[in-house]
Structure 1
Amino acid sequence: MRIVLLGAPGSGKGTQAQKLMAERHVPQISTGDILRAAVESGTRFGQQAKAIMEAGQLVSDEIVLGIISERLREADTEDGFILDGFPRTRQQALDLAELLDELGKPLDTAVLMDVEFDVLLKRLTGRRTCSLTGKLLNVYFSSQEELDACTSNGGELIQREDDNEATIRSRLEVYREQTEPLVEFYRKRDKLQTVNANGTVDEVYARLLEIL
């Protein structure tokens, strides 16, 4: 199973990737995670990325692709992988396709986690962390009992600074401009599957397994 997970912030890509990884025993390859790991382990591309980040600059597509190439050559990817957070642009998708062909690990499918815009806004702006337990809650979707369990014991429901509506609308707009063209890219190549990602984690996971 070699898949790319597509979807806006808040669509549940990371959560579903974690469930797939646990059940199917294939690694989730998240760009941010492998970038940090490559820097820490001092791989060839990791050293280049470290120098660029220390200079306060953005890591180029070429280096990110190099780090992904290093990761995909590791033994645990032989039975498959879940790419989460890459590609983000059409050019990255073209580069990835070329890399996977070179490695003999072509993509099986790209899965779009499809969520209504107003649901995305509620998922992201409603996120709160209980100051007592560290539990992640949502003022729109968590039960009143869960919310009260925090506040009635003297805890606070804390919102991250970047979870305000203006910032989130901006993030969703960037996604639409840069990443939504990937949907058409994979559709034209008969690689696209769409999952209705509205609903509970388990409901969405059942739909995901059905198409896979």
Structure 2
Amino acid sequence: MERPARSRIFLMGSPATGEEAPGPSIASRLSLPKVSLRDTLRVNVHGDTEFGRQAKACMDRGVFFPDELIIAMMHERLSQDGARDGFLLDGFPWTVPQAQALKEFLAAEFDAGLDLVLQPVVDHEEIVRRLSGRRICDKCGCVWHVGFDDIQDGACGNCGGDLIQRDDDREEVVRQRLQAHQERSAALVRFYAEDGIVLGFDAMGPVEEVTERALHAIHAGQLPDTSSANA
């Protein structure tokens, strides 16, 4: 699929749905480099860069990465040649201060702004059902689901091992994660809604279906002309 005219795209982070994340597939179909926070962190930590050392120190202490660190690291990544003609942002920005810093950076560096913000629309109750029903074999690591699979006596159908529930798959924890995500994404949507560039799409289901819906939103979405704002 050819690259859309609007080629600086932000895919807002979505809570886990039990499916593969669609970011890489969307970027590939649009021939855009995927610029993700996770990948950028990994490269810097493994490369033992100054940013990587700061990030590792935060991880070792179990604290959140400060906005200043994330902003500086992602701005450096976006300044590289591969991203100068367009990109799909995945996982960044996470906060309104990060979004504001990104807006100022793109205006100063490219005399432009984001063209589209894709907002995944998910059914929170379905996510709770999917994640809280997951069980993992303590022997072979096979993943099962109490609602989708025929589980006999809490045993793994592959090797007979005991099936356990991860702490972060407990219903109360899943609901807490969803609430935190909803609050953060709502603030970002309000921020980008002022520019009229937010497009929602159904993000539930297999990655192939989610990708097709996102591509349809990108190519068929009716947006106000932002060329004057981005020029």
Q: TM-score range by the shorter chain?
A: 0.7 to 0.9
Matches within 5 A, 1:1-212: 1-11=7-17, 15-104=21-110, 106-129=113-136, 134=141, 136-140=143-147, 142=148, 151=157, 153-154=159-160, 157-212=163-218
Q: Which amino acid aligns with 2:29?
A: E
- In structure 2, the CA distance between the partners of 1:126 and 1:100, relative to structure 1 (3 Å rule), is farther
3-state SS of paired residue (1:120): helix
RMSD: 3.0
Q: 2:10, 2:118 within 8 Å by CA — same for their partners in 1?
A: yes
- In structure 2, the CA distance between the partners of 1:25 and 1:170, relative to structure 1 (3 Å rule), is same
Equivalent residue pairs, number:
209
Q: Is 9-18 or 32-41 further displaced after alignment?
A: 9-18
- Could you tell me how far apart the structure 2 residues matched to 1:170 and 1:16 are? 23
TM-score by length of 1: 0.81
- Could you tell me how far apart the structure 2 residues matched to 1:8 and 1:27 are? 19
TM-score by length of 2: 0.75
Q: Which residues of structure 1 form unaligned runs of 5+?
A: none
Task: Name which one, 1 or 2, has greater alpha-carbon Rg.
Answer: 2
Identity of aligned residues (%): 37
Q: 2:19, 2:205 within 8 Å by CA — same for their partners in 1?
A: no
| Structure ranking higher in helix proportion | 1
3-state SS of paired residue (1:179): helix
* CA offsets 1:22-58 (integer angstroms, 9 cap, x no match): 3334333332332232122133333333344445543
